[in-house]
Structure 1
Amino acid sequence: MAFVLCLLGGLLHDDDTLAPPQAPTYLIAAVSSAMLLARHRLPVATVTATTVCGMLVAPLGLLPSPLVIAPALISAYSLAVRSELRVTVVILLPSAALLVAPTPFFETDFSWEDTSRLVTVAASPLIAALLGRSAQHRRAYLTVVQERARRAEETRDSEARRKVAEERVRIARELHDLVAHQITLANAQASVAAHLFDTRPEQTRVSLEELVKTTRNALDDLRATVGLLRQPDDTSAPIDPAPGLSQVPALLSAFRRAGLEVWMHEDGTARPLPPAVDLTAYRIIQEALTNVTKHAPAGSAQVRLSWHRDHLSITVTDDGKGPATPRRPPGYGLIGMHERATAVGGTLTAGARPQGGFLVSADLPLRSAENTARTTEAAAGSEDR
């Protein structure tokens, strides 16, 4: 392409007539066009070489024009695309001046038209450089945009994987707390029924009725949990209705019917809890008593709620003196209780007591509940105003 442009520029002669290109035109076109092959690897050297070829236009009797020095314009464009602005300016300003410097010495009759033509020739490499800088900025911009898009996509994928992992843990915890509790009660009730089958048939009938009720509740809870998985719009919503401390008396009654003697003591003044803390308190009590039934050879257990100014303390202890039962492999109950307490900003400790038995102790913050109440009161006040 550069070779053809040079030949087209050679069609115009000094007398402003069109004629076939002279022999020097072919020479300059061939040499300068061949030098463009190195413009990507050696842009500065290519600009220098094509400038030298452009300086030979006037000495060889050719009429200077942007077409004749097309290779110099292409090399100037390549230099601007691949080099820093400082290098481009330092190289191209002298190059533009050198392209027209020999012309006045080889023209006897120098007119304003010739001056205008030389200005055009000198400005052509600078215009090509401006186009090159524009292309460089556009490439840099596109690179930045593509990099941002790539990072955004990676961030979205990472966030999606994190949410999926959190949701899997949450569903697993719900399944454990809901279903495992009911199955443990059912197992205890079946054991009581088997123990009383020969000696107290009426009590056996009561235990079997409780067993049927427990298994029915287990199926309902399992159905509700599976239904949670099928909610495409809001999978973060808790299972409805979410239990709380108000359901603890019914929970203790179920354990008593399964053969565990359990008492509850409450100190301080009870206050409303936000749903997350309320659910967490219920699940901790439920899981602690379930572990007593499953793992501990305990005959009785005690639940204590202590209401403080800024937190609620929950303590579940057992005596560890019940009939010996085979130890089961450890499960995820303690892990789930720790996760629930941490999720609402609380703490939980669990371990054996020196005097025997097991202790589960949790401290859950009440500030969120107070803040919620204040927010509700403020909103109601603003509506009244």
Structure 2
Amino acid sequence: MEEQHARRCGGPPWMRGGPPRRWRHGPPGPPWWNRRDEDEDGGRPRRPWRSTLLLTVFVLIGSNFAARQQLDREGLDSFGRALLIAGTLLLLWRQRYPVFVVFGVSASAMVYFGAGYPYGPIFLTVALGCFSAVVAGHRWAAWAALGTLWTSHLLVGHWLYRWLPPSDDTPSSWGGEVAVAAWMVAIVAVSELARVRREQSDRDRAERRQAAKRRADEERLRIARELHDVLAHSISVINVQAGVGLALLDSDPEQARTALTTIKAASKEALGEVRQVLDTLRPPVSHHRPSNDALRAAPFDSGDAPRAPAPGLDRLPELVEQAAGAGLTVPVETRGERRNLPPGADLAAFRIVQEALTNVVRHSGSRHARVLVDYAGDALKLRIDDDGPATGADAGGSGNGLAGMRERAAALGGTIEAGPREDGGFRVRAVLPLKKSLGASAEKPVKVKEDR
């Protein structure tokens, strides 16, 4: 394709800004030469060109100034400048190859001092190379490079100076050696401090990501639990009434009409509650005009829809009425002084009663159930009884009913007990603390005896 494009347009595509030429067997050269730094988002490589260029200029100017001040050292010639430039240019790869760079700058400094050139800003290249290696996690490589440089400086200053320039050189003072050692220790200390802070920052970011993931999982679980409770109850009522309507369609059309009316009401109620759950996923309304890209991405989104209050025990009469539509008689008894409940406890209590009545509709042969709501001190106690016996019939349930009740109670630090009674019926008992306690759910076990 590229050759055909070149014949049509004249000249190879790489001269006209066309598609880049690709190597059939990979780019030439060894792997370490072609390896590049990449951004976190996988973009083009980044190298610290500007900072390296500024450091190179500073080192060259500072070393020329130091040469004028240190007349007892060798003058800075082209070889000395080449060593300075080589040491600073190595720093271009300090983020990708920190070990290679720290040994490279240490070697260039070692040759520089061995040749008798003046002391100066070349120490900055060693410091930056060591800092990059330590922060990247290569602590032993940085320490080894600095130790090798100090050892070579010690040998040159006290033994090899006889054969190395300058010719009239004298042994170095031990005070100077101590100063160089202190300077290297300071570099290591600053580098280690930066490494510790970077690792702490990485841990904090990882913990924030885990917390965000945990919150997202909890929100998905909450939405799934809400959808299950809403749909399981409504569809169970619809299933029962559909069976009644089919059975009485020919013999008793009026009763079949009543069943269809109940189905319509139950389905409308289910759609409303599903809409309420899904509305919680919508983003908040923005008062700024959306961009064209946002409009194209969500052309049918009209913003936040009005949200109804979350269901609670004040809607218990509606729940009893729906159960009556499914042929279930449910008397409700209230004990204690009725009071306003926290939103979480109010919703959990409603859903627990709803799921318990749904299980009666699905699995019990009795058409009679009893609900007891007891406002006892700092706890709300619920008890739902049916007289049984279990029919073993399945109305399409997923088996997640008691699991959802258990999760709701555990979130509030409460307990759930569910199981058959001695007289053949079935009982669900729930205790929901009304005091807000985040640690209660981890301290109080939740007991589930049997699901039907």
TM over 0.5: yes
How far the C-alpha of 1:172 sits from its partner, in A, is 0.2
The amino acid that maps onto 2:344 is A
Amino acid at match of 1:228: T
The match for 1:230 among 251, 271, 282 is 282
Instruction: State the distance in 1 between where 2:248 and 2:391 align.
Output: 16
CA contact (8 A) 2:363 2:390 kept: no
Whether the aligned pair in 2 keeps the contact of 1:12 and 1:63 (CA below 8 Å) is no
Shift of 1:353: 1.5
Shift of 1:347: 0.9
**Greater helix percent: which structure?**
1
How many residues are paired up? 290
Which residue does the alignment assign to 1:46? 152
Q: How does 1:43-192 map to 2 (within 5 A)?
A: 45-53=151-159, 56=162, 62=168, 64=170, 99-100=172-173, 123-192=175-244
- Once the 2 structures are TM-superposed, how far is the Cα of residue 212 of structure 1 from its aligned partner? 1.0
TM superposition shift of 1:266: 1.7
Counterpart-to-counterpart distance in 2, 1:219 and 1:271:
30
2:387 corresponds to 1:319: yes
Show CA shifts across 1:302-342 (max 9, x none).
Answer: 11112212212100011114877457565211001011111
The reply to whether residue 255 of structure 1 matches residue 329 of structure 2 is no
Change (3 A) 1:245 1:193: same
Using a 3 Å threshold, how does the CA distance of structure 1 residues 127 and 185 change in structure 2: closer, same or farther?
same
Shift of 1:54: 6.6
In the TM superposition, residue 256 of structure 1 has moved relative to its aligned partner by 0.6
Structure with greater contact order relative to length (CA < 8 Å, sep ≥ 6) = 1
Percent sequence identity is 35
Gaps of 5+ in 1: 19-28, 65-97, 101-121, 234-238, 370-385
Aligned equivalents of 1:216, 1:342: Cα separation in 2: 31
Following superposition, the deviation at residue 215 of structure 1 comes to 1.1
Give the RMSD, CA atoms, in angstroms: 3.6
Kindly indicate whether the alpha-carbon contact (under 8 Å) linking 2:330 and 2:370 is maintained by their aligned counterparts in 1. Answer: yes
Partner of 1:196: 248
Which digits, 9 at most, give the CA deviation of each residue in 1:271-318, with x for residues without a partner?
Answer: 221111111111100010011112222221111112212212100011
Are the equivalent residues in 2 in contact too, given 1:182–1:218 (CA < 8 A)?
A: yes
Structure 1 residue 246 corresponds to structure 2 residue 314? yes
Please name the residue that 2:9 is paired with: none
Do 2:241 and 2:262's aligned partners in 1 also have CA atoms closer than 8 Å?
A: yes
Whole-angstrom distance in 2 between the partners of 1:279 and 1:33: 80
Structure 2 residue aligned with 1:361, among 429, 446, 452? 429
Are the aligned partners of 1:32 and 1:49 in contact in 2 as well (CA < 8 Å)?
Answer: no
**Residues 185 and 223 of structure 1: CA distance in aligned 2, closer, same or farther (over 3 Å):** same
Offset at residue 52 of structure 1 (A)? 2.1
Deviation at 1:47, TM superposition (A): 4.6
Amino acid at match of 2:185: R
Instruction: Look up the equivalent residue of 2:114 and give its one-letter code.
Output: S
User: What amino acid is the match of 1:190?
Assistant: A
The TM-score normalised by the length of structure 2 is 0.56
**Aligned residue in 2 for 1:33:** 114
Indicate conservation of the 8 Å contact 1:299/1:321, yes or no: no
**Contact between 1:297 and 1:320, CA under 8 Å: does it hold in 2?**
yes
The 1-side partners of 2:187 and 2:328 are apart by 80
CA distance in 1, matches of 2:279, 2:315: 22
Q: 2:150–2:180: 8 Å Cα contact kept in structure 1? A: no
Question: Which structure would you say has the larger Rg?
Answer: 1
Letter in 1 for 2:158: V
Deviation at 1:56, TM superposition (A): 4.3
Structure 2 counterpart of 1:247, one-letter code: R
Give the Cα separation in 2 of the matches to 1:247 and 1:207: 22
Separation in 1, partners of 2:390, 2:113: 102
